[in-house]
Amino acid sequence: MAADAATAAANPAGMTLLDRSQLLVAGRAMLPDINFDRGPHTEVPGEGGGGGNAGVFFPIGSAFCVYKLSDRISLGIALDSNFGLASDYSLNWVGRYDLTTSSITTGQGNPSIAYRVNEWLLVGAGFSFQLARFYQQGKINNLLPRFGDGGLSIESWDEAFGGNVGFLLQPIAKLKIRLTYQSPVDFKFGFHSYTSNLGPGIRAALKASGLLNAKVNLGMNEPQQMMASALYQVTPALALMGNIGWQDWSQFGQTTLGISSEKQKSLAVNLDFSNTIQIAFGAQYRLWEKFLCSAGFACDSAVSEANRPVSLPLDRQLRYGLGVQYDLNRDMTVGNSE
């Protein structure tokens, strides 16, 4: 849409359509409802329940700024996050030997530049510096009940770089067409696992295999993606829009786990994620001069229900959005969406 400074992240080419420099600050939050139901054929050592609601309150903040150098050139910066999720199951749930707590938190700074080639073609590009934190906790089965459960936790931070390019075409006054590409971003987490309350048998086995206090390396790929979008201004009050996009989630699901110890080991991991085609459509309607309503729907699926992991319990996603926006004056707008 290139309606405000958020275009610095979504499509930097749109920054030259803004009539002046802008600052946009946004805050939102997720509170997922994640529940595990133990089926009749669930086979794990020991007993345990479903773990209750594993959803964790997840605040998200972002800021976008566009500085208009001239009618043809604009500079921008976006401070935001592309993805993240956290889950926290109870300590005695049936899957505690897989994990009890897991989170991926990311943030990025994305400076960009845009240039108006002519009246109908705009181009833009940027690069991003990203920071990510990976954290996971789980229990270890000590086999003998008198020792109880052992504990395992891992934590690591990493930084990585990426880039994005965008084109915005306006062949007629009522139609905008957007084409964008975002590069993959490769994180390489490295950490020493922290264990607690290990029984003597488990400790001896880990020490003999070289796994006790070994350094572990884990790769994670933020998917590359391409998106084509269109917006048509049906009337001065009504706009219709749609997206079709491709995301390389199969690379996110394929990684290598490396263990640096006296006995070097590596393990290829495939989470059976698939590339996705995302389809979305929406509309905006201006009820009166200062009041704008928005609605949209999107769907995609990166992993099947049968293959979803407990750390990222997502399969088919159907997203609905509603929003309202009010222009307080020429220089300030407030809004809310859900």
User: What is residue 336's predicted lDDT score, i.e. its pLDDT?
Assistant: 86
- Each residue's pLDDT tens digit in the chain (338 positions)? 788 899 999 899 999 999 899 999 998 888 888 888 777 766 665 567 777 888 888 888 999 999 999 999 999 999 999 888 888 988 778 888 888 899 999 999 999 999 999 999 999 999 999 999 999 998 888 877 788 888 888 899 999 999 999 999 999 989 999 999 999 999 999 888 888 888 888 888 777 776 677 788 888 888 999 999 999 999 999 999 999 999 998 888 877 777 766 666 677 778 888 899 999 999 999 988 899 999 999 998 888 888 888 888 888 889 999 999 999 988 888 888 88
On average, the pLDDT of the chain sits at 88
User: What is residue 45's predicted lDDT score, i.e. its pLDDT?
Assistant: 58
Give the span between the Cα atoms of 338 and 325, in whole angstroms.
12
DSSP assignment of 230-291, as one string? EEEE-SSSEEEEEEEEEE-HHHHTEEEEEEESSS-EEEEEE-----EEEEEEEEEEEEETTE
User: What is residue 12's predicted lDDT score, i.e. its pLDDT?
Assistant: 94
What is the reported pTM? 0.84
Q: How far is CA 191 from CA 155, 260, 301, in A?
A: 6, 10, 31
Angle in degrees, CA 20, 25, 31, rounded to 5: 150
Closest alpha carbon to 45 in 155, 144, 160: 144
Domains of the chain are 7-337 (2.40.160.60)
Q: pLDDT tens, 70-110?
A: 999 999 999 999 888 888 988 778 888 888 899 999 999 99
